[in-house]
A and B are shown apart, each in its own frame.
Chain A
Amino acid sequence: MTRNTWFELLRTGVAIAVALLIGFVVTWLVSESPGEAFGYFLKGPFTSIRRLGAFLEAAVPLTFTGLAVSLVFSAGQFNMGAEGHFFIGAVAATAAGIFFDLPPVIHTLVCLAAGMAAGAIGGFIPGILKARWNASELVASLMLNYVFLKLGMYLITYHLRDPSAGALVSLPLKETSWLPQFTRTTKLHAGILVMFLAVFLCYYFLYRTTKGYEARMTGHNISFARYSGIPVLSVMLLVQVLGGAVAGLGGAVEMLGIYRRFQWQASPGYGFDGVIIAILARNNPLLVPVAAVFLAYLRVGADVMALYADVSAEMVSIIQAVIILLVTAEAFLAGYRHRLTLKEVKQRASAS
């Protein structure tokens, strides 16, 4: 392990510890029995098989959005669209799952492709606005999130709704489109395999292909990238389309594997968690599942805490915000790193 990796690990660890500490202080402020409440939060995900399952299930959509954000962040693009792409991908897969009549496997693949296509279009719009007209992809993608949310709800309400159901939910997806679940107690499903494939492909793209190298170079130093002849504008567009496709795929997998009928009234928030995951994973696709498991742990822990104690699940957002702030703070623990470097230099100097 290089000194740099070691230092980044340490910094992430300290950031998480500080965040949890602040989370505890906040819990202590609002709760009658803070120790118990925080105990539920930390131990919650391990208290039953079903919860352990829920915790791992939640890591699947989070991995997809984490990958999507990693792709765009690698190229220095602040596209926040994963939230909307995930949502519209789920809607597209729902439509394909209801309307098409296809043999098993093929139907599933068509639904996944529909989700990817919807997400890719969602990534393309801010991408082309940025590449052609230099419009801020940040503002554009945030505006699009609202548009996709409204568009998705329109499609569900007016075209895909199950009239026999009491609540606002879509018709059930045809069984031929489902991703099979492995066991009865948990909802762990074959989408996990799709997830690992996506992790591998994103890694392969970023670290083993020329375009991926160009993307990372653009993110690292755009002036240098432009100077060395990298077509930065087309690279910016490409990563946003790919990121959109991956997030849309995530939405589709969630529909086919877990819900099997669309039942969200609001965006489930996986896209913004994807930002935290990308930051924790340093945009490295291979680390994304690890970070996603951690975020899923926080989510499920918070839900268990809200169920049994007098603290609402939103407490976790405080922890998440502190993690983002400290992990991305370049000067956080920089003094320590400086001393570490000095020590090594001195050692080498005295050895020679």
Chain B
Amino acid sequence: MHPLLKAIFSASFAASILRVTTPILFAALGSVVADLSGVVNIALEGMMLISALVGVIVSAFTGSAWMGFFAGAAAGVLVGLVLGYFHLKLRTNVILAGIALNLLASQGTVFVLYAVAHDKGVSSSLPSKVMPEVQLPIIKDIPVLGPIIGKQNILTYMSLIAVVVIYLFLYKTSFGLRLRAVGENPDAADSVGISVHKVRFIALAISGALAGMGGVHLSMGYVSWFSRNMTSGRGFIALAAKALGRTHPIGAFFASLLFGLTDALSNYMQSLRVPGEFIQMIPYVVTLVVLAVYSGRQLKSGRFSNE
């Protein structure tokens, strides 16, 4: 068998899919929450990037990975609230506000990195921590499944738990119902006394926290440093995962897995004698194709039916 195929059908490949899915999944869940409340959050990319840097800096200065994690998640919340302030209070177009925040994040993180670490590329001069790997006691001994999900970064497990938590939150709690009501019909929600602004602010804060955890995974789990623009479009791929997953947490999970798969494939194919540029293109091309194919289905099912 070709060594690449052999590698792909190994448990370590399956494990690596889960690993690279983690940041996309966190961000996709963040996108689902914001979207259901009626706000298109395209600032996910920037939130992830800012949290990735904050996590590294705080963990380096406190010496604690968990402090870095909480600071990173809090940074995501803060960016979410800033987005909320401009969109909800100052009535900035939400897409343009997202673009502004992404721009700020992509350059601003380099600015801060330079101010803190005197380097514009990577943070390797900072003694930052990584989130721990966890071995699940019984599961790790199950054949096939064990090597895949038995030992992963704690953030990978948290992302899987987050799928369930966000699902329960959105569909089994009264606040989740209110959140969806606000997204479905803000006027109706307002008429029964739900504060649309308040709900959307909270949704954006949750969205930011989730994206922030995804960012922290990138710089404190996936690798152990921050590098400029290390998100490389994952925040936008998460938007596609949300669309493919029909704005539902479970759907977003499977969609994120698909994008994780292409990401992992492109990592494994670096060894092939194909120009690296083409291999690096795969995740983006797949996202484009999925976007087109999926949206096509949506169109047939009635939208824009008058054309």
Contact = CB atoms under 8 A, between A and B. Distances in A.
Q: For B89, B100, B292, which residue has the most chain A Cβ atoms within 10 angstroms?
A: B100
B288 A143 contact: yes
A139 B239 contact: yes
A233 B306 CA distance: 12
A139 B236 contact: yes
B13 to A, nearest CB: 23
Contacts of B61: none
Given A325-B97, A325-B100, A318 B239 contact: no
A146 B281 contact: yes
Interface string B233-245: 1001101100100
A152 to B, nearest CB: 9
Given A314-B108, A318-B111, A328 B93 contact: yes
A336 B202 CA distance: 30
Contact of A78 (B91, B95, B100, B295): B95
A272 interface: yes
Interface of A: 26, 30, 78, 80, 125, 129, 132-136, 138-140, 142-144, 146-147, 150-151, 153-154, 157-158, 226, 233, 272, 275, 279, 312, 314-318, 320-322, 324-326, 328-332
Interface of B: 42, 86, 89-93, 95-97, 99-101, 103-104, 106-108, 110-111, 114-115, 120, 232-233, 236-237, 239-240, 243, 275, 277-278, 280-281, 284-285, 287-288, 291-296, 298-299, 303-304, 306-307
A318 B277 contact: no
A272 B296 CA distance: 29
B96 A134 contact: no
B284 A146 contact: yes
Contact of B295 (A135, A226, A324): A135
28 contacts: A129-B288, A132-B296, A132-B299, A133-B295, A135-B296, A136-B239, A136-B295, A139-B236, A139-B291, A140-B292, A143-B236, A143-B237, A143-B240, A143-B287, A154-B275, A272-B103, A312-B114, A317-B104, A318-B107, A318-B111, A321-B101, A324-B99, A328-B96, A328-B97, A329-B86, A329-B90, A329-B92, A331-B90
Given A143-B233, A143-B284, A329-B92, A150 B277 contact: yes
Given A329-B90, A331-B89, 12 more contacts: A132-B299, A133-B295, A134-B298, A139-B239, A139-B291, A143-B291, A150-B277, A157-B277, A275-B99, A318-B107, A329-B86, A329-B92
Q: Which 8 A-B pairs have the closest CB atoms?
A: A317-B107, A329-B90, A321-B104, A154-B277, A324-B100, A314-B111, A135-B295, A330-B91
A50 B42 CA distance: 39
B292 A129 contact: yes
Contacts, number: 145
B115 A30 contact: yes
A314 B120 CA distance: 10
A135 B307 CA distance: 16
A26 B99 CA distance: 21
Given A146-B281, A330-B92, A233 B307 contact: yes
A133 B299 contact: yes
A317 B108 contact: yes
A324 to B, nearest CB: 4
Contacts of B243: 136, 139
A129 B295 contact: yes
A154 B233 CA distance: 19
A132 B304 CA distance: 10
A272 B95 CA distance: 14
A111 to B, nearest CB: 23
